[in-house]
Structures are given as structure tokens and as C-alpha cells.
Amino acid sequence: MNRIALAALALTATGVPVLAGTDPWSNIDRDFAKLASSLTSAGPSGVTVTGFLRTSYMRSDETKAWTDTDTGGGNETLAGADVGGFSIDDARLVFTGTVGRFGLTIEIDGTNAQNDLAADVNDNETNESTVVSSDLGVYGQTSTASTLGVLDAYATWNFTDQIRAQVGSFRAPFLASAMVNENDMLFLDRSILGTSWADRDEGVLLTGNMPMGHNASWGFALSAQNGTDTSGKEVSSTARLHMSLMNAGWTEGAVGAANSPALSVGISYFDDDGASQFNAIGYDAKFTFGQLAVSAEMVAYNDGIGVTVPDEQEPVTGNTGSLLLAGESPYAGTVSFRIDNPQTNKPMAELALRYEDLDDADTSTVITYGANWYFDGHASKVQINYSKAESDDEARDMDILQVGLTVSI
């Protein structure tokens, strides 16, 4: 059996000289103050600072630890210790400001720096698939040295109230679950598909949202980003079309859902002409009816390309090792039920179940059970997850128990 390693991530800022006896965060505090001051001086709108902290405890007596010691050369190994430890999953600060029709967003995290698609594909394992070995719950969470990293960093320009242009670093608008912020997630970890499409990349984005009447709307998103060849001349492109009916939204679960039936559907196309040379079509849908929420997602990859997760039986070093390559059409489905406080009618708890099928030759699946306790919706909550992976390959039979706390400001 295999074990997943979860190292407690210390919030440290690498590369910043610190004098003996001084607070190592003092330089960062001054940088944040300068950033806020410069944004405020740019116009009357000023700057808004928000953020959140996600911390969790993970345990499994049967799962081998997966440790990422990658320093740029694809050096990843399996640890031998049993899983059982605390982690700071996200320590996030988000700075936003507006000047007329222009906006600026900078999102900084004090745990792990950005892990982009190009690094996943080129830095280790394979040149023909998206490697997923981070924040995957049952299939393992990597634990690199903690660094202060910039995630989203982009400027926006609102042409009209419905159409907006964006330039900078951001997630590709492919799957709805990949675009949900970590503090708004229904489970402690995204689905395997959601994780694989949640990476940031530099590029430009055009979005639009058009009302249709009767609380319905349709929208589009078109992006061009660096892709897997990073600064090479080839780019990756994404096109997404979605439709929302009856006050539907893209938040996960039933928190914030309308009392009337609501449906959202989306279809996306991704093409990368760089090192990976792959394309994919994504489908997602969500239906809510008051306290009930049901959602599903699937990605159809071109031949031989798919999401990969570590085979925990064998370590991966450089371009060698064993990986699980998902099939051409992996999918996931989720159902949840919200329990409201009878006195305040506010969300009090939510029970959730997610099923994932990797569509691989070994019929690998993952089932995750979740229970959330809400103190102020997603802004402050406690989550308990139990995930179990099963496969015809015994090496991929794993399970994990997680308990997490999220507090947002």
C-alpha cells in the first residue's frame, strides 16, 4: 500500500536577506505597504485587501508519502513515513484596485509558489501530458519549501458593462471547478480534473456576459497564453461558452444557491501548439434546487494525452518512473445537500459526495465523502473529507482522512 506525505508548510520568504534579531516578515510587510500606497495614489478608487487562510490535518496508515523535492530538474521521490501531519494549504492576500474602467489584481500566497502547466509538462516526467501531483488528496500532495509567490497578477479593461479584456497571469478559462477560489471549494481538494486545469499562465483574456432576461445569461471567454513552451513562439488558446439559467452560479455546492431550480452548463476547447502538442474539450454542468446541488465535469483528450497522477509504487526521478495516465475521457460527478439553521435560515452544514473515474486501463476511481460546518458560509468553515482510491492495480489503492479550517477576510 502507499502513503501520502504531508509536511507542515512554514511560511518563509526565500531570497530576502534578514539581519539577526529582526522579524523575517518585516521586509514583506514594508513591501505590502508600498504596494498598497502605490495603488492608492493611482486614483480615487484606492485598493482593497482581502485574503484567507486554509489549514488542514491529513492522516492515513496505509498510504505512502509523496514528497516533491523538485528544484528545477524533476527530482521527485517517495517518502517512507506514514501520513500524519498539519499543513498550511493557502495563506493568501489579494490586492485589487480600480482606476476608471481599468482594474488591477495581485494575488500573493505564502505557501507554495506558482506551479504552472509548462513546469508540469517540461520540468518532469513527460512531454505529452499534464502531470498532477499537488493538492490531490488521496493521490498525494507535494511539499516543496514554502515560498512567497505571486499567483494571479493581471490588469483589466472594461470595454462595456458586459465585455472585459484582461492581461497578465491567470487561470485558463477551461473548467468551472478549476476557476473556483480555494476558500470557496466544497471539498478540501479539487477534483483531479479541476486540479490539472487550475494552473496559472501569462497571456491575454477576453470575457463577456450577456443577459437573456428571466434571470438567465450567456457568456464567453477567449484566451491566448504562453502554454507549455513558456517563452517560445507557440501559444495555448482556450475558448469557453457557458449559459446560466434562473440565477445559476458557478460556486460549488448549495451555499448561495437560489430557492428555485437553476442550471449552468459550459463547453470549452483548449489547444496547445508547444511542447505537449495536445488539445482537449471540456464539459461541465451544475444544477441546484435550494438545498440540493448536483454537478458534473468531463474532459475529452486527444489520443494518448491525458491527466497523469503519480504511481505511488515507484518514485519518479527526472524523465523516468511510473505514472498513471488517465484515459481519453476522465470525468467526475458531485452531489451535496445543505442543512440550514432553522432560526436564521443561514447555511449551517453541508454533506457532499464526489465520484471520479480516470478512464484508465486499470479502472481507477476516487470517491470522496465530505462534511462541512459553516459559521459564516464559505468565509469561515470546518471541513472533514475522507477519500478512497481503488484500482485494478493494487499499488493505487489508497485512502486519506483530512480535517481543515478556512477563515476569510
Q: Pick the residue with more confidence: 80 or 363? A: 363
Domains of the chain as residue ranges with CATH: 26-408 (2.40.160.10)
The mean of the pLDDT values for the chain is 75
pLDDT tens for 216-271 read: 889 999 999 988 766 666 788 999 999 988 766 667 899 988 888 899 999 999 99
Q: Pick the residue with more confidence: 78 or 375? A: 375
* Per-residue CA distances from 249 to 161, 189, 243, 257 (Å): 18, 20, 10, 7
User: What confidence tier does 386 reach under pLDDT thresholds 50, 70, 90?
Assistant: very high
Which residue, 92, 105, 255, is CA-closest to 184? 255
The reported pTM is 0.78
Q: Which residues pair with 55 in a beta bridge?
A: 88, 405
Average pLDDT over residues 35-62: 72
pLDDT tens for 83-102 read: 677 888 889 999 999 998 99
Average pLDDT over residues 357-370: 90
Query: Is the pLDDT at 78 greater than 50, yes or no?
Result: no
User: What confidence tier does 396 reach under pLDDT thresholds 50, 70, 90?
Assistant: confident
Question: Among the listed ranges 48-62, 107-121, 251-265, 326-340, which one has the minimum average pLDDT value?
Answer: 107-121
Q: Which residues pair with 78 in a beta bridge?
A: 66
Helices (H) then strands (E): counts for the chain: 3, 19
Cell triple for 269: 476547447
Question: Among the listed ranges 18-32, 196-210, 362-376, which one has the minimum average pLDDT value?
Answer: 18-32
Highest mean pLDDT among 97-101, 109-113, 178-182, 370-374: 370-374
Cell triple for 135: 493538492
